Structure 1
Amino acid sequence: MELMEAISGRHSIRDYKPDPVAREAITRLIDAAIQAPSAISQQPWSFVVIQKQLLLDRISHDAKAHLMSERPVAGLPAHLYERLADANFQLYYHASVLIVISAITRGPWRVEDCALAAENLMLAAHGVGLGCCWIGLAHAWLNTPNGKKTIGIPDAYVPVAPIIVGLPKAPAPAVSRNVAEVRWIG
């Protein structure tokens, strides 16, 4: 797949087949992620791969409960709270894999560095026919002591990018993009 085709063709997938993703494929995605640039080449990332559906269901439940308990503070749109209140809504869309990219060092650009690794991972997933989606709703709970303990990361780490990966049930429809606001100087 040509690079610009991958960039313009990658979309967030929220409907997955129950099929597992091979460990070798996940390893390839992580290998692509660590090729990302990082400030001062610190490479401040760590990866947790969760493939157990029962654990994904449990952390989905816990993350939803956390967001509902933080409702006034979280400031999410009303339709998201309706989804979170639905007992049948699984935060990870029943994808077979959750990869959490966490920052392992302190530094002013650790979040940006991990976000760059996440984009590489998502482009690589699209390039090999896998679907993925950054699950921002999981972020708040993953950053709690209970969330970190549940997924096995040290207290000092900062979860940055919870990304689900799986085999899409169908191709994602194209999403229109706004025209870029550009200011040329010089």
Structure 2
Amino acid sequence: MNLTECIASRRSIRRFEEREIKASTIRRLIHSAIQAPSACNMQAWKFIVVNKRGNMNKLVNFGAAKWIANAPCGILVVYRNDVTINTVLYKDNFQSAAAAIQNMLLEATNLGLAACWICDLPRPKYVRKIFAIPREFDVIAYIALGYPKHDNSKLSLKHYGDEKKYNAHERKYSFEQVVCYDKFYSTNNDCTSMQIPKRKVVKRFWLKRKCFRNILFTDHMLKE
């Protein structure tokens, strides 16, 4: 497929077949990722390939998205936080890593793989401990990978409204609603009118914090 078709075909898929992904395929995904632009061309990213089911389960037990444990493989993306001054002002380390992630997702689509970009992760300090990540690296995101299984999960359909919209990859806003010229302004029914469920967000954070307090993982368990 050409680039435009690949972009239009990409989906966030949360259901996977059980078969493993070849090491050569993972290598190709990461090779595509590192072709991305990075701030000041630092290329200060690292990609932790997660094959062990135990590590996936630890993430989920600490509060990560449950479907992480359903994928046969994952890639945790981290990026240095001390290499440019704009890391503080514009978080250019996150921007650089995000560009690499998008490359990876497009390559996954090209190869017929299922992938899901996940930021629903535990607090970074727990992720650091599980994977021995140094302080000078920020945890960016986790990419769940596998071969696609028909994804009609409630969460996937919720983002689109129904399966027809999901299959058509229907966008929430039109070109006219997302584009501004020379200054920022709102248009009718664009994202500025989006209602944010603040109470739900606060409650979810509180529940996760309570979960973290109640789950006691010892250093022995983290080293398994």
Asked if 1:161 corresponds to 2:141, the answer is yes
Take 1:53 and 1:93, find their aligned partners in 2: how far apart are those partners? 7
Tell me the alpha carbon deviations over residues 56-88 of structure 1, each in whole angstroms, 9 at most, x when there is no partner.
Answer: 122211134xxxxxxxxxxxxxxxxxxx7xxxx
Give 3-state SS (helix, strand or coil) of 1:99's partner: strand
Contact residue 16 and residue 148 of structure 2 kept, 8 A: yes
Larger Rg: 2
1:117-132 aligned within 5 A: 117-132=100-115
Cα offset for 1:105?
A: 4.0
Q: Which residue of 1 aligns with 2:180?
A: 183
Identify the structure with bigger relative contact order (alpha carbons < 8 Å, sequence gap 6+). Answer: 1
Greater than 6 Å deviation, 4+ residue runs: none
| Range with bigger deviation, 55-64 or 29-38 | 55-64
- Within the candidate set 144, 150, 171, 2:130 is matched to 150
Contact residue 14 and residue 67 of structure 2 kept, 8 A: no
Q: Which residue of 2 aligns with 1:38?
A: 38
Give 3-state SS (helix, strand or coil) of 2:63's partner: helix
TM-score, length of structure 1 as denominator length: 0.79
Sequence identity percentage:
30
TM-score, length of structure 2 as denominator length: 0.66
Contact residue 57 and residue 69 of structure 2 kept, 8 A: no
Q: Which residue of 2 aligns with 1:4?
A: 4
Give 3-state SS (helix, strand or coil) of 1:164's partner: strand
Asked if 1:110 corresponds to 2:93, the answer is yes
Q: Which residue of 1 aligns with 2:216?
A: none
Coordinate RMSD, CA, aligned: 1.8
Contact residue 117 and residue 144 of structure 2 kept, 8 A: yes
Where do 5+ consecutive residues of structure 1 fail to align?
65-83, 85-89
Q: Which residue of 2 aligns with 1:98?
A: 74
Tell me the alpha carbon deviations over residues 157-178 of structure 1, each in whole angstroms, 9 at most, x when there is no partner.
Answer: 1011211111111377232112
Give 3-state SS (helix, strand or coil) of 1:5's partner: helix
Give 3-state SS (helix, strand or coil) of 1:36's partner: coil
Equivalent pairs counted in the alignment come to: 158
Take 1:115 and 1:130, find their aligned partners in 2: how far apart are those partners? 19
Q: Which amino acid aligns with 1:92?
A: I
Where do 5+ consecutive residues of structure 2 fail to align?
87-91, 152-165, 183-224
Take 1:152 and 1:170, find their aligned partners in 2: how far apart are those partners? 35
